[in-house]
Structure 1
Amino acid sequence: MISPSRLLPLFLLSPTLALTRGFVAYKEKGCNDPLDIWSDGVQIPNNTLLIDHSIREQGTYAGGRTYENMTFPAAHATGDMDQDAGVQFVYWKIEQPDPGCQYMMMKETPRGWQVLSQMPGDEMLRIAQEGCYYTALAPNDNVITSYCCGRDDCAVAEVEYEHKEAQDTTNGGDPPTCTVKKLYSSSPTVEDGEQIAVTRPQTCEAPPACTHSITQSRQISTAVSHFQSFSWTTEEGIDVSFEAGINFIEQSTIKTGLALNIAQSWMDETGTTLTQTNITAAQEAGRQEVGTVAFYSFTPQYDCWKGDVSCGKDNSGNEKVLENISFCQPRISTTGDPAGVFRMVYTSG
């Protein structure tokens, strides 16, 4: 699980701006009929979810402001299709963000802050322009509001692009062989991975053009995550560094490196093998609401083990132990497909 204290800070909006910006709830796509909204049985003032904490903010508000057990008593139900069961129409009026900034609304995942994601939840809405926007919400959902500003800070929210992975480097020879020194639990925990786009954004003008089909396969693979950077010189005089982040170990890009050696030590410990699986075109995406721009996303699930890994000795003869390393294998469903959750993400285009 990512500790909120490990997230990088982002400059904050001015206090006046933070207190006045928000997602204002309405019943219909014209945003003319206000919708009362409740959180934990308390009505939210002015039917407005505040946007006053950034995606990279440290402290109590880690990654945004959370509204728990949301209910929308007067919202209309979307229908009785499988993907719509229990879901209601909720529209949000949004003011123009500052230049270079985006507003985000996320749905908290069942497992909260997860080891393979820098986001506090799955995106449902990401907006760079004022307007009236749709989300599909069910009673008792937990909703997180947030914002980002600038290309680097907003990169973590651009789930339609592949994020840069953490890197390991070895200079002057082969990286050390590693072994699992301490296993915190023999049973893996189920973790949510990074939300990834599986279709391009498209405009929905009228049915039946409002469905998505997965046309580009996205790969999910064995991963090693570590939220502390390590560097040392081995007894053999080899300089090794291992940056904080997530390394996805894929057969198509496999090469000798410290991340691979660490992954191999975990595979030996857990009796697993290097695993990769694809989200394929056989998996049809869901319905998009008319008059919107959206893309379809998938959040994979992983089985993860956590522990400490010993990677030989440094040039002073001291054992080099890398602490709190997580090793994660993609979960596979009974159909043989990757386990996880599909979700439509609405945008301003």
Structure 2
Amino acid sequence: MNQEELTPEKIFEKARSFMPARIILSAHELGVFEVLREKPRQSSEVAAFLSCDARGMDRLLNALVVLQLLKKNNNMFELTDVARRAFLPESEEFLAGLDHAVQMWETWSTLTDAVRCGGKVGGPPMTERDRAYFERFIKAMHANSAPRADDVIAKLPLANVTFAVDVGGGSGAYAASLARRFPHARVVLFDLPQVIEIAPDFLAKYEGGERVELVAGDMLKDELPGPADLIWLSAIVHMFSPQENEELVARCHNALAPGGKLAIQDFIMDETRTSPPAGAIFALNMLVARDAGDTYTESEVRGWFEKAGFTNVCRIDTIPPNAVIMGTKE
């Protein structure tokens, strides 16, 4: 929306947009869509199934009708076609990131205090989260990466890769894609132990997933697998501080064979830090969720590469709002 099109009324509408968001998240969290999977039901019946207050559930279902996620006829509620596609797990369009969105609601509610103090307010470090948190988080990351992995990997100017390492690769969507592109290469997925426990469930669903080796470790502390021809870092650097990223890029340089490449995919911000727009908003997600995360400009990312000794550093535009910065170890 251009600035001249913005009105006070539209600003207030944006300020109140948390209401439909919370309606959707609460309905998902309570299990409303699953209860309505098989047949239409009255609100009292849904409330009984879910051990909820009858009036509260009735008002929630009415609001879902207004949002076009339910239909109401003769006091019976049923799923709309789009709700079936979005909220039922067997659908190819299932919104697998909703559980993590519920988690994000909690952290985003601390934004005011996070801006005041300059970082995350409460909660354990990422490395100390429980398995349930990681399952929701990795499911959301997988839903974002899996549909685009092959297209992104195909855009990388790579040849003769015999050993690739996906550092912090989560579900292994990109690792499996690398295995498909380079069928004779050794491919390693390196991530925290809590993630490595979960990854096989995802890798089993994909061609090439059976060839991906799993190695547990902390990328900021432990030795990375190597010497590799390619190290792939996707959606990683936004989790760390500039100093941590500088050290991580240097660690990747050490783990590469001569001629090997490091490729970093993330929001690559312009120098105003307002484009891509999604990256500017995501910087606040890092502010509330991490002790030191951020989105970074192209010059900042290039600086890490150059300080580590990489040459031929270049930008590859993949799928917006992300881009890739790649460099070569001499």
TM-score scaled by structure 2?
Answer: 0.25
Which structure has more strand as a fraction of its residues?
A: 1
TM-score scaled by structure 1?
Answer: 0.24
Which structure has more helix as a fraction of its residues?
A: 2
